[in-house]
Amino acid sequence: MAPTTNGLTSGGVTAHYAFTYDDSLGPPANPGGPEPARTNAVIAGCEADFTLMAGWFGNIALDVGFTIPVNVTQNSGGASWSKSGSSLTVTINPANGSANFIRYLLVAEMVEQYMRAQGLGWYGSGTEGSEGEGLSRFLSAQFLLTNGLGNPPSGFLNSNTWLSSSRADFVNNINLTDDGPDAITGCATLFIWYLFAQLGFTINQIAAAGASTLGGVYRNLTGDTADPFPFFKQLLDTNFPGTSTVTSGNRDNPFPLGMLSFWVDKSTYGRDEVTDAIASSSNSAACAAFTAAGSTSAWCWERRSGSRTPTLRSWTEGVRRQARVGGCWRWAGRMRSYPRTRRSPSSQST
């Protein structure tokens, strides 16, 4: 078994890559094998994928030389990369996976090169670390979505590893050398999806907001100096209590989620008031009722019909703005106000 370019378009060379595949995967050793057709399909799409990734990171220059060797093996287990000086090599272990699966794995490895070259904090110490691993998983899933290729493969989902754990704070406590599938990287993956699908920030905004912790990424995006983890965890604890997990759809992305509580200046509400508020939210995204003893917060999320991302209206304890979109209650198109004495965030009419 040895790498070969037999039958590959242009000898396997593109503007940025030089592909080989293991000779056990195609003729003459294996006439019925997936090669060279599979890698040729990767070659046909890889430069468009490279352009997509570069755009996410503002088209910055990478710190590696081109062309990058990409070796497609007969093994399973995902992908990896190694770097010596400016020489980068990517190894793809797809087993019997499709060409799109190989493209997905290649994107996951290459976005880590952009994190390192960017130098804003996403990249860890000698490897992507937990923060960068979360971003890598998020971006490779975005590659699939952009190309209409569905959700990440089931063996590459990670958020539930955190949801099924004690749910410790790995937003503010990252691991610079952890790049495996575990609760730490699962938390990172989930929090980045929260920034995107709950708070409505774009891929480019998230990538450009790199910091030494995910809490720092949140602050760079929102300008909010407070700790984002307590609300992030409370939102998930409310919708997925205990160690329950996401069981459908993209299981790395349960967002947007709804949580509603009633606030400060009025400690009791009649049944009609509560029923009316929830009923008025029927056209919003699953705005569930949540009342905590002594709660001083009120929350609601609205997903506009046909909108890709939610419009978030959130008021938090102490009337701190939790998201970049400030300041008014909206219930399915009707405005409701509740008595309050504290100054609210500046409102945005809708």
Q: Write down the pLDDT at residue 284.
A: 36
Percentage of the chain beyond pLDDT 70 is 74
Chosen domain end from 239, 266, 301: 239
Q: How many residues does the chain have?
A: 350
Asked whether residue 251 is assigned to any structural domain, the reply reads no
Q: Write down the pLDDT at residue 167.
A: 98
Distance CA 302, CA 40 (A): 44
Q: 279 and 223 in one domain?
A: no
Asked whether residue 150 is assigned to any structural domain, the reply reads yes
Q: Write down the pLDDT at residue 135.
A: 98
Question: Strand order of the sheet with strand 87-93?
Answer: 3-4, 17-22, 68-72, 87-93, 78-84
Residue 1: CB atoms within 10 A of its CB come to 10
Chosen domain end from 33, 68, 98: 98
Minimal CA–CA distance to 122: which of 110, 109, 135?
135
Q: Write down the pLDDT at residue 150.
A: 96
Asked whether residue 278 is assigned to any structural domain, the reply reads yes
Residue 54: CB atoms within 10 A of its CB come to 16
Number of separate domains in the chain: 3
Q: How far is CA 333 from the centre of its chain?
A: 30
pLDDT tens-digit map of 297-324: 333 333 333 333 333 333 333 323 333 3
Asked whether residue 118 is assigned to any structural domain, the reply reads no
Asked whether residue 105 is assigned to any structural domain, the reply reads no
Q: 195 and 168 in one domain?
A: yes
Asked whether residue 112 is assigned to any structural domain, the reply reads no
Q: Write down the pLDDT at residue 260.
A: 54
Q: How far is CA 231 from the centre of its chain?
A: 18
Asked whether residue 104 is assigned to any structural domain, the reply reads no
Whether pTM > 0.75 for this model: the answer is yes
Q: Write down the pLDDT at residue 258.
A: 85
Distance CA 313, CA 299 (A): 7
Average model confidence (pLDDT) across the chain: 81
Distance CA 48, CA 322 (A): 36
Q: Can you give the residue range of the structural domain that contains 226?
A: 142-239
Q: Write down the pLDDT at residue 19.
A: 98
Q: 21 and 68 in one domain?
A: yes
pLDDT tens-digit map of 85-121: 999 999 999 999 999 999 999 999 999 999 999 999 9
SS (H, E, C) the chain: CCEECCCCHHHHECCCEEEEEEHHHCCCCCCCCCCCHHHHHHHHHHHHHHHHHHHHCCCCCCCCCCCEEEEECCCCCEEEEEEECCEEEEEEECCCCCHHHHHHHHHHHHHHHHHHHHCCCCCCCCCCHHHHHHHHHHHHHHHHHHCCCCCCCHHHCCHHHHHCCCCCCCCCCCCCCCCCCCHHHHHHHHHHHHHHHHCCCCHHHHHHCCCCCHHHHHHHHHCCCCCCHHHHHHHHHHHCCCCCCCCCCCCCCCCCCCCECCCCCCCCCCHHHHHHHHHCCCCCCCCCECCCCCCCCEEEEECCCCCCCCEEEEECHHHCECCCCCCCCCECCECCCCCCCCCCCCCCCC
Q: Write down the pLDDT at residue 327.
A: 31
Chosen domain end from 180, 210, 239: 239
Q: Write down the pLDDT at residue 230.
A: 96
Asked whether residue 123 is assigned to any structural domain, the reply reads no
Question: Which residue numbers in the chain have pLDDT < 50?
Answer: 261-271, 273-350
Q: Write down the pLDDT at residue 128.
A: 95
Q: 288 and 221 in one domain?
A: no
Minimal CA–CA distance to 333: which of 285, 281, 265?
281
